[in-house]
Amino acid sequence: MATRLIVTKNDLADIGVDPDDVSGDVGDGRVRVAIDNFGLTTNNITYALFGDAMGYWSYFPVGDGSGCVPVWGFGNVVESNSDDVPAGTRLFGYFPMADELILEPSGVDDCAFTDASAHRAGLHPWYNRYYRCALDPVWAADDEDMQAVMWALFMTGWALAEQLAASVASVVVSSASSKTALSLAWSLRHHDVPTTAVGVTSAGNRSFVEQAEIYDRVTTYDELDLDRVDGPVAYVDAAGSPGVSERIHIALGDRLVDSVMLGATHQGAGAATGDAVGPTPRLFFIPDVAEERAAAEGRNGYHASFAVAFNEFVPWLRPQLAIEHGVGVDAVVEAYCALLTGNDGPQAARVLSW
């Protein structure tokens, strides 16, 4: 018997425990993974919010009207019918909010493999890849918390920074206290080409953002002091607020040459008036970008470069975060509901286990 948490797709606050035997027999060539510790951030709420539009519900299907929220974390192979992935292998990857999962390893190499389960055949390969921890240069046995919380978020900021550092003089980013925005600002500082990073945040989060000392300048949504920002400028919308995005477009005017949709930390806040000017916002979708880069550079080489950057970033970020641990179904439900209501401060980071 396995346990998973399921939510109602049109009412994400409606969460329940499904105690059914969801995994079934392992079968030839497959492995059973006992899911261990995983991170839970607003990124996971975004997966739920866009579950139908972006196909996130399809990775761990439940049935009509319900879904299982995906998370990033670790698991151990407890039963194996695969010669290449024996029992005892520790994995990192994209898991359901459940305590086990059956995978069908394919394309196993020195670092990772792809889940070839039939229902995932047409889904994005970035989410279907599982990393074998003992051979993964990102993994640190004594610091899994940071990987569980930050792996996907940092890769997003790191890859976007590389794009922007080559094309603009300044980057303005909303929701500057968010973990993805901090990843972007840190990564911009670590490129050879100097790029000014301007963080836009709430008045309540301003001190946190300033104390991080990673932005060249910090302003609030109320002030929106962008007069001294040198062009050409890229705006990175990590807030997902149409109203904020419109105001920043107008404030930057002709200096704005690129507008990037990155996140949705402020869902439902700030309607736009339709007066926005400047470039049409483009979506930065890290799965596509990462796969393109891996194809161009070689997958293991690209992953090794990411590992170097991630392992330099983590010591800087760790003091900024207050990691809260929770164990058991009740703790997972409580953490999920807290994130759904948006009550966590910017320093909060949650790591859960069953």
pLDDT tens per residue across span 72-96: 999 999 999 999 999 999 999 999 9
Residue 192 pLDDT: 78
Per-residue pLDDT averaged across 338-345, rounded? Answer: 83
Q: Is 50 exceeded by the pLDDT of residue 266? A: no
The closest alpha carbon to 266, from 311, 328, 221, belongs to: 221
Residue 27 CB coordination number (10 Å): 11
Q: If you average pLDDT over residues 185-196, what whole number do you get?
A: 90
What integer is the mean pLDDT of 189-196?
Answer: 87
Look at 145 and 343; give whichever has higher pLDDT.
Answer: 145
Domain limits, the chain:
4-139+321-353, 151-287
- How much is the average pLDDT of 212-217? 96
pTM comes to: 0.93
Q: Judge whether residue 15 has pLDDT over 80.
A: yes
Check if CATH label 3.40.50.720 holds for domain 151-287: yes
Name the token pair of 248.
């920043």
Place of tokens 């918390």: 145
Burial 122-160 (b: 16+ CB within 10 A, else e): ebbebbbbbbbbeebbbbeeeebbbbbbbbbbbbbbbbb
> Higher confidence at residue 115 or residue 17?
115
16-30, 45-59, 234-248, range with the lowest pLDDT: 16-30
| CATH class of the domain comprising 4-139+321-353 | alpha beta
User: How confident is the model over 103-112, as a mean pLDDT?
Assistant: 94
Checking if the pLDDT of 1 tops 80, the result is no
Give yes or no for a contact between 304 and 330, defined as CB atoms under 8 angstroms apart: no
Mean pLDDT over residues 148-165, rounded?
Answer: 96
Q: Where are the beta strands (DSSP E) in the chain?
A: 4-8, 11-18, 31-40, 66-67, 70-80, 90-96, 100-103, 105-106, 112-115, 129-132, 170-173, 196-201, 217-220, 233-237, 256-261, 282-283, 322-327, 348-353
pLDDT band at 267 (very low <50, low <70, confident <90, very high): very low
pLDDT tens, position by position, 18-50: 866 555 788 899 999 999 999 999 899 999 999
- Look at residue 122 in the predicted model and tell me its pLDDT: 92
Model pLDDT, residue 262? 85
Q: What is the pLDDT of residue 232?
A: 97
What's the CA gap between 314 and 18, in Å, rounded? 35
Residue recorded with tokens 């402020």: 266
Question: Mind listing the pLDDT tens digit for each residue in 124-152?
Answer: 999 999 999 999 999 999 999 999 999 99
pLDDT at site 264: 56
pLDDT at 273 > cutoff 70: no
Contacts of 134 (CB under 8 A, 6+ apart): 89, 90
